[in-house]
Amino acid sequence: MTSQKTVLITGASRGIGASTALLFAKNDYAVCVNYLKNKDAANEVVNRIKALGGVAIAVQADVNKEVEVQKLFEIITKQLGVIDVLVNNAGILKPQAKLIELNEERIKDVLTSNVMSYFLCSKYAIKHMSTEFGGTGGSIINVSSAASRTGSPNEYIDYAASKGAIDTLTVGLAKEVAANGIRVNCVRPGLIYTDIHADGGEPDRVNRLKEKLPMKRGGKPEEVAEAIYWLASDKASYATGNFIDLAGGL
Please give the residue range of the domain that contains residue 60.
Answer: 5-246
- Return the pLDDT at 71: 98
Q: Taking each helix axis from N to C terminus, what angle separates 39-51 and 15-26, rounded to the nearest 10 degrees?
A: 20
Beta carbons within 8 Å of 166's beta carbon, 6+ residues apart: 88, 114, 115, 118, 142, 143, 144, 148, 186
In tens, the pLDDT along 130-163 reads 999 999 999 999 999 999 999 999 999 999 999 9
What pLDDT score does 198 carry?
53
Query: Residues, the chain, total?
Result: 250
**Per-residue pLDDT tens for 115-130?**
999 999 999 999 999 9
Residue 91 belongs to domain with CATH number = 3.40.50.720
Q: What is the pLDDT of residues 71-94, one digit of tens each?
A: 999 999 999 999 999 999 999 999
Contact (Cβ atoms closer than 8 angstroms) between residue 15 and residue 95: no
* Angle value at C-alpha 81, between 75 and 87, nearest 5 degrees: 75
123-129 long-range contacts, CB within 8 A, separation 24+: 123/69, 124/69, 124/70, 124/72, 124/73, 125/8, 125/73, 125/83, 125/86, 125/182, 126/177, 126/180, 126/182, 127/73, 128/73, 128/77, 128/82, 128/83, 129/82, 129/83, 129/84, 129/180, 129/181, 129/182
Residue 80's pLDDT is 97
Percent with pLDDT over 90 in the chain = 84
**Residue of higher predicted confidence among 161 and 195:** 161
Rounded Cα distance between 80 and 54, Å, is 12
Counted domains in the chain: 1
State what percent of residues in the chain have pLDDT above 70.
Answer: 95
Q: Which residues are the active-site residues?
A: 159
Q: Give me the phi and psi of 17, to 5 degrees please.
A: -60, -45
Grade residue 177 by pLDDT with cuts at 50, 70 and 90: very high
* 1 pLDDT more than 60: no
Q: Residue 199: pLDDT band by 50, 70, 90 thresholds?
A: low
